[in-house]
Amino acid sequence: MVVAPMGERAPILHMREVDKTFNGGIVALEHMSLDVNEGDFISLLGPSGCGKSTALRLIAGLMPPTAGRIEWEGGQGADDLGVVFQEPTLMPWATVEKNVFLPFRLRGQSFGKVRDRIHEVLALVGLEKFHKSYPRELSGGMKMRVSIARALVTNPRLILMDEPFAALDEITRQKLNDDLLSLKAKTGATVIFVTHSVFESVFLSDRILIMAARPGRVIREITVDAPYPRGIDWRTAPEYGVIAREASATLHGALAQTEAAE
Amino acid sequence: MTAPDIGLEERRQKAQSGSAPLIDADEQRRARRRRNEEIAKYAIPIAVMTLAIWYWDRLVVWNEIEPYILPRPGLVLSTLIEDWGTLSQSLLVTLQITGFALAVAVVGGVGLAVIFSLSRFAEMSFSPFAVILQVTPIVSIAPLIFIYIESRMVGLLMCAWIVAFFPILANTTLGLKSADHNLRDLFTIYRANRWQRLVHLQLPSALPYFLGGLKIAGGLALIGAVVAEYVAGTGGIGSGLAFRILEAGYRLQIPRMFAALILIAITGVIIYATTSLIAHLALRKWHESALKRE
């Protein structure tokens, strides 16, 4: 798929100087600004406590910011989202297809009308044969695919992913990274991806926001200029190593500063 | 099968020709143990029970105990058959009270739990009453109930209900609150309304808890029905098994006491088996408690 240059893509979401303070005065996020455009793949990369999950929860509308603004283009708010959590977060009592049906069901749509769409998305994630299975019959990676299918099924404007592959083994993780990129190419989805893995962020995203803790904040933005589709060639490219090294150095520098400040 | 130790080369040949056993000795041993356990699961309880009954019979014979103190098992059985007309009538009454009380306990317990989960205010207001009803022994409440309530049947039902509904209420309340927090967030993100949240998230999450409560409540409903009848005391045509035991006790018809007692015990076992079966059927597809480990 041909991705339009950054400047020509339609904007979706603007975060302006967003702060989030929890009771007790703990600053989870400080002065975060971010513009999300259609087709972006943005990674929020940082150690635990850097506010990356908080940023995601703010965007999802699960809590209001303490200060600053989160503005959606068109003004309808965060009602057109897909979300993937660190755990698959499936309903154990429902079959795979009924789990993927959930976003439609909560919009009051009947199963019969969207069955084709559900099966289409299940085919995209390679699980069309498992539509009648229960989550417990699937492996960890397969459960994650169901979770991704559920996030994709409504063709949302924005997909939020909160360390979705952190609990999986390395081999499954790489496979799912590859699959995620091909899904993105097929659907043109816009993704904000939270991770603490440097390599994952460099492999997947076109923009990496590196974050630091105490207070949680964005310290650097790196643009990854490699074209999609990316595969094993990108994983072994010299630029990949350069960017990964740079991101690692930034992360470690910030970590040392945080530790010195204590 | 005990294969003699064979050399490496020989084994390789065997494997290539396809005659090597697909299951090795260790797996065979485990399969055998599983099979034996499967048989023992039924055989051992039956054997021990039979032995206990035989020993009861011998005890009476050896010590020449009179039947009005301890009857022989055979006598209990023949009494059960002889008095089946009266006893079966009473069994039906006890079953009716137990079953109806359990049904009302399910509706009331789940209904109240849902109301509690929808409104913290309702929970704060009414849960103290539920707790007080639960912790006060039913024998001490029952006499009052029979003073205020004209119909004996309704009084009995109420006693059985009071004992049975609490585990259902407590378990279901807990279950409704224990939905996965990420799923709850997901429902919020998808703008689910309260009703959708209840039907598609909270009630399914509460199902295993509710079924656990149902197992306890089934036994308790029977206990409540029996105890309440002891307190109510008066007999007549519409009397349950508890009254038959009292009556037989006054008349020193000990074999009949035993016969009625056995009927109550069997009823309890059947209730437990039924509620367990319901729980198994409802959860076998998805819940950890009903899974067979590979």
Closest residue on chain A to B197 (Cα):
A106
What is the CATH number assigned to the segment(s) B73-290? 1.10.3720.10
Which pLDDT score is estimated for B3? 47
Closest residue on chain A to B194 (Cα):
A106
Report the share of chain B in percent with pLDDT over 70. Answer: 89
Closest to B271 in 3D by CA, of B134, B92, B95, B138: B95
**A69 and A169 inside one domain:** yes
Total domains in the fold of chain A: 2
Q: Are B112 and B169 in contact (CB under 8 A)?
A: yes
Please give the biggest Cα pair distance in chain B: 90
pLDDT tens per residue, chain A (262 residues)?
Answer: 444 454 568 888 999 999 999 887 888 899 999 999 999 999 999 988 888 989 999 999 899 999 999 988 876 666 789 999 999 999 999 999 999 999 999 999 999 999 999 999 999 899 999 999 999 999 999 999 999 999 999 999 899 999 999 888 889 888 899 999 988 888 888 999 999 999 999 999 999 999 998 888 899 999 998 888 888 889 889 999 999 999 999 999 888 888 887 7
- pLDDT value at B231 more than 60: yes
Place of tokens 């508890």: B242
Structural domain containing residue A224: 10-80+157-260
Which pLDDT score is estimated for A112? 93
The answer for B 122-141 residues in CB contact with A (under 8 A) is none
Which pLDDT score is estimated for B1? 42
Provide DSSP, A92-126. Answer: TTS-HHHHHHHHHHTTT--HHHHHHHHHHHHHHTT
Q: Are B72 and B83 in contact (CB under 8 A)?
A: no
Where helices occur in chain B by DSSP H, the ranges are 8-17, 25-62, 73-82, 84-118, 120-135, 138-148, 152-177, 181-189, 194-197, 203-232, 241-250, 254-283
**A181 and A197 inside one domain:** yes
Counting Cα atoms < 13 Å in the Cβ hemisphere of B104 gives 16
**A183 and A237 inside one domain:** yes
**A99 and A146 inside one domain:** yes
**Token pair belonging to B255:** 């074999």
Nearest-Cα distance to chain B for A27, in Å, is: 22
**Which chain B residues have a beta carbon less than 8 Å from that of A93?**
204, 207, 285-287
Residue A155 CB neighbours (<10 A): 13
Which pLDDT score is estimated for A90? 95
Q: Report helix, strand or coil for B43.
A: helix
| Mean pLDDT score, B272-287 | 91
The strand pair at A11-22 and A26-37 is best described as antiparallel
Nearest-Cα distance to chain A for B216, in Å, is: 23
| Mean pLDDT score, B254-274 | 93
Domain assignment present for A40: yes
Q: Using one digit for the tens of pLDDT, what is the confidence trace for A196-225?
A: 999 999 999 999 999 998 888 899 999 998
**Token pair belonging to A196:** 């603490």
**A54 and A94 inside one domain:** no
Buried b (16+ CB within 10 A) or exposed e, B40-74: eeeeeeeeeeeeeeeeeeeebeeeeeeeeebbbbe
**A170 and A256 inside one domain:** yes
Spatial separation of the C-alpha atoms in residues A228 and A221, rounded to whole Å? 19
Return all residues near B59 (Cβ < 8 A) that are at least 6 apart: B65, B70
The CATH number of the domain where A52 resides is what?
3.40.50.300
Closest to A36 in 3D by CA, of A1, A66, A2, A74: A74
- pLDDT value at B105 more than 80: yes
Spatial separation of the C-alpha atoms in residues A126 and A115, rounded to whole Å? 16
Write down the mean pLDDT value for chain B. Answer: 88
**A21 and A143 inside one domain:** no
Q: Does B281 touch chain A (CB under 8 A)?
A: no
- Residue B189 and residue A105: Cβ atoms within 8 Å? no
Q: Using one digit for the tens of pLDDT, what is the confidence trace for B240-258?
A: 888 889 889 889 899 999 9
Nearest to A83 among B186, B200, B201 (CB): B186
Domain assignment present for A2: no
Which pLDDT score is estimated for B285? 85
Nearest to B191 among A85, A102, A106 (CB): A106
Which pLDDT score is estimated for B2? 45
**A176 and A249 inside one domain:** yes
- Residue A136 and residue B188: Cβ atoms within 8 Å? no
Q: Using one digit for the tens of pLDDT, what is the confidence trace for A187-203?
A: 888 999 999 999 999 99
Spatial separation of the C-alpha atoms in residues A150 and A125, rounded to whole Å? 10
ipTM of the assembly?
0.90
**Residue contacts between A and B (CB atoms, under 8 Å):** 52
Spatial separation of the C-alpha atoms in residues A260 and A254, rounded to whole Å? 10
Q: Does B185 touch chain A (CB under 8 A)?
A: yes
**A151 and A179 inside one domain:** no
Range list for CATH 1.10.3720.10 in chain B: 73-290
